[in-house]
Structure 1
Amino acid sequence: MIWFLIFIFTCYSILIISLSIGFHKVDEFKTEKKIEINSFSVIIPFRNEAKNLPHLLTSISKINYSNNLVEFILVDDDSTDNSVEIINRFIENYEVGYNQKNIFKVLKNNRTSNSPKKDAITTAIVIAKNDWIVTTDADCILPINWLKKLDSFIQEKEPKMVVAPVNYNVENIFLEQFQLLDFMSMQGTTIGGFGINFPFLCNGANFTYKKEAFLKLNGFAGNNSIASGDDIFLLEKFIKSDKKSVLYLKSDEAIVTTFPVKSWTDLLNQRTRWAAKSSNFSSFKVKLIGLLVLLVNFLVIYYLFLGSLAMLFIPFVLKMIVDLFLFLPTIKFFKIKSSFYKWYVFASLLYPFFSILVVFKSIFFKYNWKGRRFKK
């Protein structure tokens, strides 16, 4: 067993250090083009987001970009609260910023598959008038220079798809700090993957692609039976079609902020939803990475309960140290406050148990999300 432990942790260390090197290879984008050229259709699906929509809409009102080059398409996915009323009131009452009603469209989702979010995005793309599709979520806050930075990046790099950063707005309590650390590991892995020329993660809360390319690749066709994955599976399609045209925008002015869930049950359901799509990844290497991470977490738990006294905490400490190679540059880029260190040990100890539970639940059980029940 000890040789298996050494082998797995050696592979894991190589992976994390490689991603850390890749993270540093992705340069921060500083260019600011004076003339705005690209037109964006920002698509925002929503379902019962009355609590979050005021934050989103306020941030939209502050976005610094030409009115004639942007539209916001909000797609109602069968909300039962007053979300639509909040949006309509915002459109009618706003006197500054995006005050032209034709900039905003509110649609009803046209459900045609097992994936409500993919249906919502497709519903919006059908009527989107601009060259670039940008997706985000209704529980997000958008930075003021978000579209301006995207425009500059597209002008200079000429991509067909842009993956960009997402951060959490958290309070100093363990549940939210745990989510932040888990999310930072995914963000660091996303950036690191691009840096080693092996992009395999993205986040639909900050995701941009050419409408023409989306239609040419038949959008979500082939994976719309899977409830989640409106981002990952589309990323795979674009990479398979033209890998060099898929780029990462590493800029603190392009960071979209979202909020953590407020209960452990919701967190488990959310992460189960994310994990449920992993078996459908087309890349064998990505599946191998997932298996490696799973084995590392399993070994941490195994030695905590069944290992010898001398080996009790060694796998846990090793993993915690190795993870810092990627965590440290990630939290520096995202400007995470020093409370990170306060929670890191406790979160690292809980994470192996949590991740194994998520995998188990994603394989054998259905999950609830936004008032609906889904199976894998």
Structure 2
Amino acid sequence: MSNLIQPVKVSILLAARNEEANIERCLKSLDALQFPKENLEICIGDDDSSDKTAEIIQAYIKEKPQFKYYKISQQTDGLKGKANVLAQLAHVTTGDFLFFCDADIAVPTGWITNMLPFFMENTGIVVGLTRMKKSRFFADFLSLEWLFTLTVMRFFSLFNIGITGLGNNMAVSRKAYDSVGGYEGIGFSIVEDYALFMAIVKNKFDFVQTYIPEIIAISEPVKTFKELTIQRKRWMHGIMQSPLVLRICLIISALLIPVIAVIAIWDPERSLRMLIQNYMLITAIVLVPVILLKQKDLWKAVFLFWFYLIGISVLMLIIHMLPGKTTWKERTY
């Protein structure tokens, strides 16, 4: 870890569009951050919301000078959606480090103080961890899916193989952000976190995939199957642009059962061994974050996670193959 001499100036960038159900929870978590307020600015970009998002934000941040509200109605050339909001916010920030989270996220109180030490001299980007808020049983599977994926990302990062960023829990140095020309230099992507991560890594900056419980952010889980399919169609844009290893993992998970069923016609014993071995491998991987990151409440879903992973992988592949554009935050891409 670095020997950064605090205090440094930190800017948090938060894009919000029609988040009246979630935004106050996020703001409360940002207000509770254990970091000197005189060295912190929280810049909120209201992406032309049509609900009560702006009203809730303005009421909450009143007499809180570290919070700054910006109504984003103009579009930067070549950008739209969240990337457009973040690009405009970056221009008004003054921090040495830019922290990113989403409006449906609650960050831990030590988020900044535990992320900053990972910045070494040439570190451009630090990726955090995310899980779902404790609620119904399905949310446990979503949490395990996030932690499973982040564990795989952590493994490859040890070999300096970058997979993606995490727009709801990520920090970049101002030097790295400016070196790629910001979001204007990168251009529009519906998966703006992946685009920024890859641009910074390709520009010869180091990255860190963190793996400590103190920086786990808590997200609101999707509430309906429709929301899930919309979310996964957007994610598939990022996955299909990601390194080959991630695409192969998804395709293998989606096609595992059909392939084993075909093998079973000629060799039932081998097909059964393959199923058992795959189940044990996936379960072992998902046990790692539950144990190392101390997420004890997820134990009850661990041994059923394999079935969920197979199902969600098939669903995502089908969603990607179906024709149609992606709708996100009431906008079509």
Name the TM-score, length of structure 1 as normaliser: 0.79
Deviation of the 1:261 alpha carbon: 0.6
Question: How far apart, CA to CA, are the structure 2 residues paired with 1:357 and 1:70?
Answer: 42
Alignment of 1:278-297 (within 5 A): 278-281=239-242, 286-297=243-254
DSSP 3-state at the match of 1:267: helix
Indicate the residue corresponding to 2:220 in structure 1.
Answer: 259
Deviation of the 1:194 alpha carbon: 1.6
Structure 1 residues 304 and 259, CA, compared in 2 at 3 Å: closer, same or farther? Answer: farther
Deviation of the 1:210 alpha carbon: 1.8
Structure 1 residues 67 and 360, CA, compared in 2 at 3 Å: closer, same or farther? Answer: same
Indicate the residue corresponding to 1:201 in structure 2.
Answer: 164
Partner amino acid, structure 1, of 2:112 = L
Indicate the residue corresponding to 1:329 in structure 2.
Answer: 288
Q: 1:238-274 CA distances to partner (integer Å, 9 max, x unpaired)?
A: 211224x322333322222212111122112212211
Indicate the residue corresponding to 1:187 in structure 2.
Answer: 150
Question: How far apart, CA to CA, are the structure 2 residues paired with 1:209 and 1:353?
Answer: 34
Contact 1:53 1:139 in 2 (8 A): yes
Deviation of the 1:39 alpha carbon: 0.9
Indicate the residue corresponding to 1:62 in structure 2.
Answer: 32
Indicate the residue corresponding to 2:260 in structure 1.
Answer: 303
Deviation of the 1:42 alpha carbon: 0.3
Question: How far apart, CA to CA, are the structure 1 residues paired with 2:179 and 2:122?
Answer: 18
In the alignment, is residue 50 of structure 1 matched against residue 12 of structure 2? no
Deviation of the 1:121 alpha carbon: 0.6
Deviation of the 1:296 alpha carbon: 4.1
Contact 1:299 1:315 in 2 (8 A): no
Partner amino acid, structure 1, of 2:230 = N
Match of 2:116 among 135, 146, 151: 151
Higher-RCO chain (CA-CA 8 Å, sequence separation at least 6): 1
Q: Give the number of aligned pairs.
A: 329
Contact 1:132 1:209 in 2 (8 A): yes
DSSP 3-state at the match of 2:166: coil
Question: How far apart, CA to CA, are the structure 2 residues paired with 1:333 and 1:347?
Answer: 18
Name the TM-score, length of structure 2 as normaliser: 0.88
Question: How far apart, CA to CA, are the structure 2 residues paired with 1:128 and 1:206?
Answer: 18
Alignment of 1:96-107 (within 5 A): 99-100=64-65, 103-107=67-71
In the alignment, is residue 361 of structure 1 matched against residue 314 of structure 2? no
Which consecutive unaligned segments of at least 5 residues does structure 2 have? none
Structure 1 residues 64 and 345, CA, compared in 2 at 3 Å: closer, same or farther? Answer: closer
Alignment of 1:37-186 (within 5 A): 37-92=7-62, 99-100=64-65, 103-112=67-76, 113=78, 115-154=80-119, 159-173=123-137, 175-186=138-149
Alignment of 1:305-320 (within 5 A): 307-308=264-265, 310=269, 313-320=272-279
Question: How far apart, CA to CA, are the structure 2 residues paired with 1:192 and 1:78?
Answer: 39
In the alignment, is residue 276 of structure 1 matched against residue 237 of structure 2? yes
Question: How far apart, CA to CA, are the structure 2 residues paired with 1:304 and 1:177?
Answer: 29
Contact 2:26 2:104 in 1 (8 A): yes
Which consecutive unaligned segments of at least 5 residues does structure 1 have? 1-28
DSSP 3-state at the match of 1:136: strand
